[in-house]
Amino acid sequence: MPLDSEFELFRDNFRRFLHEYVAPYYEQWEEQGLIPREIWNKLGENGFLCVDVPEQYGGYGAPVHYSLMLVQETAQAGFTSLAVAIGGQSELVSPYIQNIGSEQQKSFWLPKMVTGEVVSAIAMTEANAGSDLQAIRTQAILQNDHYLVDGSKTFISNGHHADLIVLVAKTDPQARAKGISILLVDAHLEGVKKGRTLKKIGLHAQDTAELFFDQVRVPAHQLLGEMGKGFAYLMQELPRERLSISMMALGSILGAIELTKTYVLERKAFGQALSQFQNTRFVLAQAQIKAKAAQAFVNQCAELYRCEQLTVTEVAALKCFITDTQCEIMDQLLQLFGGYGYMQEYPISRFFVDARVQKIYGGTNEIMKEIVARDLLGK
């Protein structure tokens, strides 16, 4: 899609934001294991949250590629923990409310998400139900004017800071897919408990938590869409999530290539720059070639999404290809740093560890292959 001067100005402003408000503090956030709550308010003040939300709800009503650019640029700068956080708010939760929510739900939640007053999380995964969403056990039973919610969720991005939880639950425990509904749960309701912030091998600053629901009374009007249609809504909105993950992966690839290029031009071995060795040149050239292929695939899918033509199969293929490619490239680029690549003080190590989860969340790549296979071969 064509990128105009307004888009470039918006991107430059965001790059300055990252340079001023993120870069000086990011290492500290990684060590602390949490991005501070204040950054959400700062993102909102500067207009970098949920930018495609219509103006009537406080957003810019910007084209979707403005929003997707933010997660790519954040990952490209090496701040993937923050990219996941922004993506959770702008690329996961916001579209659910925009596309499925009632007027009351949109008017109440979206303006607060745009300003950063409300941090949001989507709670699908459970300890015994990862990619198999039909097997979830969290229940939301309708009782007159409210749902009574019991259960737990794990691996929830933005879980610690969350003010709003988009909760996937069983409203009919006996049914599988047709028993799933989605609720908008105020995280401050009695009975909502946030567990420990989970420690991970990568994405150290990303707010990932367990959530527990004990007899939580959720007003009936906070049902998102219709009862029993939750699984269909998830299938409808998952392409945006997987496109966002792919944008993050692309950003990480481009950022790591640039980082490695700078290193090999400056670093010397056996009396010459590393950039003069054929292996170095071939590894970087191959990474660049794959990056260009990934960029073309991402651009194609982003355009299909803009035209409301992106299929579950197409974006599954993209997510699988680009995250597999990302992990492969990170391993090869880290090797060029030698022992320094294994040291946390060198940013390439963070690119490496942050990449691995991309093949898991948003649906594992094994599930992505199964989706493509079913489309190709049938069930």
SS3 79: coil
**Cα(100)–Cα(212) distance, integer angstroms:** 25
Sign of the CA dihedral running 27, 32, 37, 40: positive
The pLDDT of residue 280 = 96
Q: What is the pLDDT of residues 4-55, one digit of tens each?
A: 899 999 999 999 999 999 999 999 999 999 999 999 999 999 999 999 999 9
213 has pLDDT over 60:
yes
The pLDDT of residue 196 = 87
For the chain, counts of helices (H) and of strands (E): 12, 10
Cβ-based neighbours of 349, under 8 Å, separated by 6 or more: 334, 341, 342, 343
**Cα(193)–Cα(185) distance, integer angstroms:** 12
Strand partners, 363: none
**Cα(60)–Cα(46) distance, integer angstroms:** 12
**Cα(347)–Cα(260) distance, integer angstroms:** 10
pTM: 0.94
Is residue 13 a contact partner of residue 60, using CB atoms and an 8 Å limit?
Answer: no
Mean confidence (pLDDT) of the chain = 95
The pLDDT of residue 131 = 65
Question: In which band, very low, low, confident or very high, does the pLDDT at 3 lie, cut at 50, 70 and 90?
Answer: low
- The one-letter code for the residue type at 325 is T
Is residue 227 a contact partner of residue 213, using CB atoms and an 8 Å limit?
Answer: no
Give 199's DSSP letter.
P
The pLDDT of residue 130 = 65
SS3 53: coil
Instruction: Tell me the mean pLDDT in the region 309-324.
Output: 97
Instruction: Tell me the mean pLDDT in the region 226-235.
Output: 94
377 has pLDDT over 60:
yes
299: tokens are: 């651009």
The pLDDT of residue 75 = 98
* Pairing mode of beta strands 164-170, 146-157: unpaired
**Cα(36)–Cα(15) distance, integer angstroms:** 19
The pLDDT of residue 25 = 97
The pLDDT of residue 180 = 95
1 has pLDDT over 70:
no
59 has pLDDT over 60:
yes
2 has pLDDT over 90:
no
Is residue 8 annotated as a catalytic residue, yes or no? Answer: no
Of these residues, 241, 314, 345, 366, which one is catalytic? 241
Percent of the chain with pLDDT over 70: 99
Q: What is the pLDDT of residues 101-144, one digit of tens each?
A: 999 999 999 999 999 999 999 999 998 776 677 788 999 999 99
**Cα(115)–Cα(48) distance, integer angstroms:** 9
Which helix (H) or strand (E) is 351 found in, with range? helix 347-355
Instruction: Tell me the mean pLDDT in the region 176-201.
Output: 94
76 has pLDDT over 80:
yes
Question: In which band, very low, low, confident or very high, does the pLDDT at 379 lie, cut at 50, 70 and 90?
Answer: confident
Is residue 312 a contact partner of residue 236, using CB atoms and an 8 Å limit?
Answer: no
Instruction: Tell me the mean pLDDT in the region 81-90.
Output: 97
The pLDDT of residue 295 = 97
The pLDDT of residue 112 = 98
SS3 2: coil
Residue 345: count other Cβ atoms within 10 Å of its Cβ. Answer: 8
Is residue 77 a contact partner of residue 18, using CB atoms and an 8 Å limit?
Answer: yes
Tell the residue number behind the tokens 């950022």, with chain if given: 255
Instruction: Tell me the mean pLDDT in the region 158-182.
Output: 93
Long-range contacts of 300-304 (CB under 8 A, 24+ apart): 301/243, 301/246, 302/1, 302/64, 302/65, 302/68, 302/243, 302/247, 303/1
* Pairing mode of beta strands 164-170, 120-123: parallel
302 has pLDDT over 70:
yes
